[in-house]
Amino acid sequence: MEQTLKIHDVYVAFVQQEFAGYLTICWSSDYGPFRMENTPEIVDFNVLPKFRRQGIGTQLMDKAENEIAKASSIAGIGVGMTPDYGAAQRMYVLRGYIPDGRGLHYRGHHVKYGEEIIVDDNMALYLTKELK
């Protein structure tokens, strides 16, 4: 239903009929700056551990960026800041994503200097990429 209404698009990867990963495009981001600027956001991106480093994530990202480019010149993505997200952090930078310049975001707001937060999956840095 959400795909029909153009709220989200979901792409699923299989390797020899075995589920390997997925990626979702959110056409109207929950992240305020992206929503206000009409920047589609890549969310819920995951490749199962046994299928990593085989190009599946690259293919999913290529597909998402190609679809976003049909509607927007910019793609957005958020990434967690713990070591668990290290591979994703590196991948996004290598693909040309750069921080949006607003700093860390946590539970609906940008973190202010001196603010104490819990380091968890809700802490993210948002990045953008200009698509050609």
Task: Give the model confidence (pLDDT) of 88-98 as tens digits.
Answer: 999 999 999 99
In which band, very low, low, confident or very high, does the pLDDT at 4 lie, cut at 50, 70 and 90? Answer: low
Is a pLDDT exceeding 70 seen at residue 2? no
pLDDT at 104: 94
Asked if residue 1 is part of any domain, the answer here is: no
Asked if residue 13 is part of any domain, the answer here is: yes
Q: Backbone phi, then psi, for 108, in 5-degree steps?
A: 90, 5
Residue span of the structural domain in which 104 resides:
8-130
Across the range 22-34, mean pLDDT stands at 94
CATH assignment at residue 69: 3.40.630.30
